Amino acid sequence: MATTIRNVALLGATGALGTHIRSALTKAGFVVTAIQRKDSTNPVPSGVKSIKVELSNKDDLTSAFKGQDAVVSAVPNPALATESVMIDAAIAAAVKRIIPSEYSTNLETPLSRQLPIVKDKVEVREYLQSAIANNGTSTTWSSVNNGPFFEMCLKVGALGPNIKEKRAIFHNGGNHLIGTSTLPDIAAAIVKILDPTHLDETANKPVYIYSAAISERLLTKLASDVTGIDFGDVESGKITDLDIDNMVAEANEKLAKGDRSGWFSYYYQMMYGKGYGGEDFEKLSWNERLGLRTMDEADIKALIRSIAQEFGVPVGSNTNT
Ligand SMILES: NC(=O)c1ccc[n+]([C@@H]2O[C@H](COP(=O)([O-])OP(=O)(O)OC[C@H]3O[C@@H](n4cnc5c(N)ncnc54)[C@H](OP(=O)(O)O)[C@@H]3O)[C@@H](O)[C@H]2O)c1
């Protein structure tokens, strides 16, 4: 008989991504229990059970995971010290699937694995794999990697257009395709992974997904089409085109002195740097196998429109623009 997942314990259920995972799982018929920090004051919606525990206490977590079929984590800044406890507890409670808090761009290439931004996530992945192998357990793992959060990029102007400030910035010419994902699409991927149809094929594998393949130049054009903002161009000097190697060299110098203000540059390195794996997102993608959507230009414009409206930026009335 095929393995089925019904009860899902979700860590980070009240967070930016966790909220979407919780709602997608509930809508798909899973029974979600939010595993919250002992002192959390974040409310969960009525109908969702919450268990508050010390996340560093293995015994408490093991009791919280008893009877759960899967443990999904969406905690921020996952570090080995706490995530290893979660993993040990999930294995002790004999859950069938563990999904750690990755949600990054690429954790597979030797170059990306050395980046300081994912050092902790790589350690957690390695611990998870060895804990499962060494315990002779039937517990399996999957991870989800999705590229940059699309809504966040549009809100802060991280990939081309900054709608709020009516300016744009490119990196390495602005033509590279980036695989970026919306929070509901990441949540939809988790639902698919836990569905009996895909549970076996996703066992012990990193699952790569993307909602849209987009360049900074095209995203800037679409944002201009939707809002009428003239972002200008690189040639006239209105758009700055940044060199990522320079950004990273500066970030390295700062980091060596304990200054983390260049931290964000490493995300660009992972997305754009040759050999870092950001460019492999289409090759690695599970979109088709899992039956996940890929956004077309109309979908992307709809997302731009909703974010512009959130910022009170006027948008054209024609939904095709
Ligand atoms: N690819 C991207 O562009 C991108 C962008 C942002 C984040 N991420 C990744 O997505 C994952 C989730 O991040 P997020 O931004 O959604 O998380 P978040 O909103 O900051 O927080 C998620 C929830 O985690 C719980 N939590 C557990 N330990 C915590 C701690 N030490 N401090 C604060 N909250 C804690 C809290 O829930 P309770 O109060 O209920 O316990 C909180 O509401 C992380 O792996 C992160 O690195 C990826």
305 compared with 47, residue with greater pLDDT: 305
Q: Which two tokens stand for residue 217?
A: 């130049």
Distance from the CA of 83 to the center of ligand 1, in angstroms?
Answer: 13
The pLDDT tens digits for 231-255 are 999 999 999 999 999 999 999 999 9
Q: Among residues of the chain, what percentage have pLDDT more than 70? A: 98
Distance from the CA of 75 to the center of ligand 1, in angstroms?
Answer: 4
The angle at the Cα of 106, spanning 101 to 108, to the nearest 5 degrees, equals: 100
Mean pLDDT, the chain, integer = 96
Q: Which two tokens stand for residue 124?
A: 């957690």
Identify the residue whose C-alpha is closest to ligand 1 atom 17.
76
The pLDDT tens digits for 115-151 are 999 999 999 999 999 999 998 889 999 999 999 999 9
> Would you say the CB of residue 148 lies under 6 angstroms from ligand 1?
yes
What is the C-alpha separation between 221 and 185, in angstroms, rounded?
23
Give CATH 3.40.50.720 domain extents, the chain. 7-145+183-208
Identify the residue whose C-alpha is closest to ligand 1 atom 20.
76
Q: Which three-class secondary structure state does DSSP give residue 242?
A: strand
Residues paired with residue 140 on neighbouring β-strands, in sequence order: 97
The pLDDT tens digits for 169-210 are 999 999 999 999 999 999 999 999 999 999 999 999 999 999
Identify the residue whose C-alpha is closest to ligand 1 atom 45.
101
How many helices (H) and strands (E) would you count in the chain? Answer: 14, 12
pLDDT bin (cut points 50, 70, 90) of residue 1 is: low
> Would you say the CB of residue 18 lies under 6 angstroms from ligand 1?
yes
Q: State the pairing for strand pair 178-180/97-99.
A: unpaired
Residue 317 pLDDT exceeds 70: no
> Would you say the CB of residue 37 lies under 6 angstroms from ligand 1?
yes
> Would you say the CB of residue 16 lies under 6 angstroms from ligand 1?
yes
pTM (predicted TM-score): 0.97
Atom of ligand 1 nearest to the CA of 41: 39
User: How would you class 21 by CB atoms within 10 Å of its CB: exposed for 0-12, middle for 13-18, buried for 19 or more?
Assistant: buried
What Cα–Cα distance (Å) separates residue 300 from each residue in 41, 181, 231, 287? 35, 11, 18, 17
Residue 30 pLDDT exceeds 90: yes
> Would you say the CB of residue 19 lies under 6 angstroms from ligand 1?
no
Identify the residue whose C-alpha is closest to ligand 1 atom 1.
148
Strand boundaries in 88-230, DSSP class E: 97-99, 140-145, 160-162, 167-171, 178-180, 205-208, 212-214
Q: Which two tokens stand for residue 134?
A: 């060494």
> Would you say the CB of residue 106 lies under 6 angstroms from ligand 1?
no
The pLDDT tens digits for 43-76 are 999 889 999 999 999 999 999 999 999 999 999 9
pLDDT bin (cut points 50, 70, 90) of residue 320 is: low
- Topology of the domain covering 7-145+183-208: Rossmann fold (3.40.50)
